[in-house]
Chains A and B, each alone.
Chain A
Amino acid sequence: MNDIIKVSHLTYKYLQNELPALDDVSFSIPSGAWVAIVGHNGSGKSTLAHSLDGLIDFKQGQVFIDGVELTEANVWKVRSKIGMIFQNPDNQFVGATVEDDVAFGLENMAVPHDEIQARVDSALAQVQMSEFRHKQPDQLSGGQKQRVALAGVIAMQPKIIILDEATSMLDPIGRQEILGVIKRLRRKLGITVLSITHEMDETTSADEIIVLNDGKIIESGKPSLIYAHSDLLLKLGLDVPYSQRLKEALKLRHIQTPQAYSDEKGMVDWLWQSLLKA
């Protein structure tokens, strides 16, 4: 399995005397995977994302993207492999219209006009925003703006998409739209997705979850494994999936519940087995 992202012993301090924002972080992500990084505000999640994209000049540790070590000399080359979506939909809309916005990155790369046209068309189709191509940003909802941001990223044909709390300012429908698009993109284009979030619902489709606290990785594994440690997640100020919260509430009422994590459907099945089955 080839690792498209590899981080080894990454440490970063914003101020010399402060505690490190990242403290000896190492992990790797296989090509095509969806990895969610969770942690409360200030846990180091965004610092980590910014280091991968060369937005932060770290002094200790190494980052490899698609087999190449990130250095000052090749930061632009590495960056062209990564597309980032940030939290605030209004802060990343630069074009006057939807199609201008999607074309912005390509124009900067001096891509020929015909090809820009083709790539913009295809990117807008991927995020289902083709009919909005002539709209202005103030005519769009937050979810639609984030989809345009995603189209701008897709048009650059990156290998990796990093979502830095990209849904946290959206309403529930906007959030579903974005997650739906991401799932489809992964299936169709095999893009590697790194999502940084504090919404546990958004981690259920991930292949792996990395839990960060005070700049350190304190746990990583499949969602079912991470969710089963709900006491740890709650202690870190994170949410746990609803089924797990219910299980904790039942334990307090002296009801024996299954050890392993199960989703809501699994919990209803278990209740049916224990209570209704003849």
Chain B
Amino acid sequence: MAITFKSVSYTYQPNTPFEFHALNEISTKIEDGSFTALIGHTGSGKSTFLQHLNALLKPTSGTVLIEDATITHETSNKNLKPLRKKVGIVFQFPEKQLFADTVKKDIAFGPENFGSTPEEAGKLAKKMIELVGLPVSLLDRSPFELSGGQMRRVAIAGVLAMQPNVLVLDEPTAGLDPSGRQEIMHLFTSLQQSQHFTIVLVTHQMEDVANYANHVIVMEHGKIVKEGRPREVFADVEWLHDKQLDVPASTEFAFEMVKRGFHFDKLPLTEQELADDIAAMFKRRRRSNE
């Protein structure tokens, strides 16, 4: 499912002393089936952008096209419910939103609100808990007895239970340890393959951008300041440094090598690419020594 932004601006508290322009003339397209990474500093407008993806916010000016629905300033809230089902948002620290006394009720809450019978919703809960890699036996437990990582998976299962087409993830691995981070990212990529999701990921982890995304949007002061494939966006290391944004560790390392006189045809994005490039350099050196 594609989502298109056409000159979208958003102003918080317009015509008051607290007026704040969070988005300025944003135009971009999230392609169907793509994995888009959204990067930028705290306060750059990422969260405001996210909330336009399922019309939680409506543009102050401009239009957002969510599949074939047009959202403008004038769109009434009445017909937005089906849209919100199609675009699921996993907010930051989603485990904070758990509330029910059992895992099953928590996951089933969304579908029941959208008209599923308790039986259907219960079945869905069982399916979703398996999908996020937790044992079915947890369904009757209180979510608050689980570990932090398990709670986060339950919260994600609750969003998946709405069976969305687009999954929006706001820093889904923040606060997790390295193995927890890896598990959650694997979960999303395998879900994307098996369920054909479109994914929008907000992250500060540039390794994840390099490893998983095929489209990167860089935001600053409510504007898109760069957009493209990860290789294009990360090619200009100095520009990103200038914006105080990180690049993947491998790109950073290669950039340091370039400063010392090494040459790369294109800067590597991942450890594997960099190691391959360096291995090729050793091979060439050996050959020229012989």
Binding site for B on A (CB under 8 A): 40-42, 87, 141-142, 165, 168-169, 171-174, 198, 237-239, 242-243, 245-246, 249-250, 252-255, 264-265, 267-268, 271-272, 274-276
Contact = CB atoms under 8 A, between A and B. Distances in A.
Contact of B275 (A87, A172, A252, A265): A252
B253 interface: yes
Nearest to B92: A169
A7 B276 CA distance: 47
B261 to A, nearest CB: 6
Contacts of B271: 245-246, 249
A237 B250 CA distance: 21
18 contacts: A41-B149, A142-B42, A165-B175, A239-B178, A242-B250, A242-B253, A246-B250, A252-B275, A253-B279, A255-B279, A267-B253, A268-B260, A271-B257, A271-B278, A271-B281, A275-B262, A275-B285, A276-B261
Given A249-B272, A271-B257, A272-B261, 7 more contacts: A141-B42, A141-B43, A238-B177, A242-B253, A252-B275, A274-B282, A276-B260
B204 interface: yes
B179 interface: yes
A198 B177 contact: yes
A274 B279 CA distance: 12
B149 A272 contact: no
B262 A87 contact: no
B101 interface: no
B240 to A, nearest CB: 12
Contact of B41 (A171, A237, A242): A171
Contacts of B256: 264-265, 268
B247 to A, nearest CB: 12
Nearest to A200: B178
B262 A276 contact: yes
Nearest to B205: A172
B63 to A, nearest CB: 31
B175 A168 contact: yes
B281 A242 contact: no
Which residue among A141, A169, A174, A268 has the maximum number of chain B CB atoms within 10 Å of its CB? A268
Interface in B204-255: 204, 244, 246, 249-250, 252-253
B69 interface: no
A275 B257 CA distance: 11
Contacts of B276: 253
Nearest to B246: A172
Interface residues of B, number: 36
Contacts of B93: 169
A249 B262 contact: no
Contacts of B147: 41-42
Nearest to B256: A268
Contacts of B272: 249
Chain A CB within 10 A, most for which of B149, B250, B252, B278: B278
A165 B179 CA distance: 16
B91 to A, nearest CB: 14
Given A173-B244, A265-B256, A271-B262, A250 B278 contact: yes
Contacts of A168: 174-175
B148 interface: yes
Contacts of A264: 252-253, 256
Which of A40, A239, A249, A254 has most chain B Cβ within 10 Å? Answer: A249
A221 B278 CA distance: 31
Contacts of A253: 275-276, 278-279
B2 interface: no
Interface in B148-180: 148-149, 174-180
Given A237-B179, A264-B253, A272 B279 contact: no
Given A41-B177, A198-B177, A249-B275, A173 B41 contact: yes
A252 B276 CA distance: 10
A253 B279 CA distance: 7
- Which residue among B250, B272, B275 has the maximum number of chain A CB atoms within 10 Å of its CB? B275
Given A198-B177, A237-B178, A239-B178, A246 B42 contact: no
A276 B257 CA distance: 11
A268 B260 CA distance: 8
Contacts of A250: 275, 278-279
B286 to A, nearest CB: 10
Contact of B177 (A40, A172, A243): A40
Contacts of A42: 147
The 4 closest A-B pairs by CB, nearest first: A237-B179, A249-B275, A253-B279, A198-B177
A242 B275 contact: no
Contacts of A254: 279
B245 to A, nearest CB: 9
Contacts of A272: 260-262
Interface string B263-275: 0000000011011
A142 B278 CA distance: 39
